[in-house]
Amino acid sequence: MKTISKTILIFILTVSFALVFYQIGLSQNTVEEKMALIDGNYPNKTKVARYRYLLNSLEKKTDEPKERIGDMTVKSQEILRKEYGREISLLDLLEGVNKSIPLRSKLPYANVIAAYIMIIGR
């Protein structure tokens, strides 16, 4: 259980740093373009549109801005890779989390993605 707590603390700290860097405007790309680039799907407009749709859907379901959703999803991908030895694309993470949240639920995205990575990490 200590490993999970340590992982969650690292996750929160990393997201905080990512938010600071994002807010000072280090890039002109949209969140969906950045995520597609990380996954190797940029500049595929169809794929970028899917990231955009999922980010908009999750923004409505969680009341989190797309930037924070993106940051937390990227960190979750890193945790899955380092802690669980699982490779999963950001697009697949967004798809899975989006399917797991009911409409108008307003669940905190951090809680949902943390639970999701613990389930699929096994």
- 85-115, pLDDT tens digit by residue? 999 999 999 999 999 999 888 999 999 999 9
Number of Cα atoms under 13 Å in the Cβ half of residue 79: 30
CA atoms of 73 and 117, how far apart (whole Å) = 10
- 22-66, pLDDT tens digit by residue? 544 546 899 999 999 999 999 999 999 999 999 999 999 998 999
pLDDT tops 70 at residue 80: yes
| CA proximity to 30, closest of 70, 74, 72 | 70
Q: How far is CA 1 from CA 4, 8, 38, 66, in A?
A: 5, 11, 31, 30
Average pLDDT value for residue range 64-80 = 97
CA atoms of 40 and 20, how far apart (whole Å) = 25
pTM over 0.85, yes/no:
no
Q: Quick one: pLDDT at residue 15?
A: 63
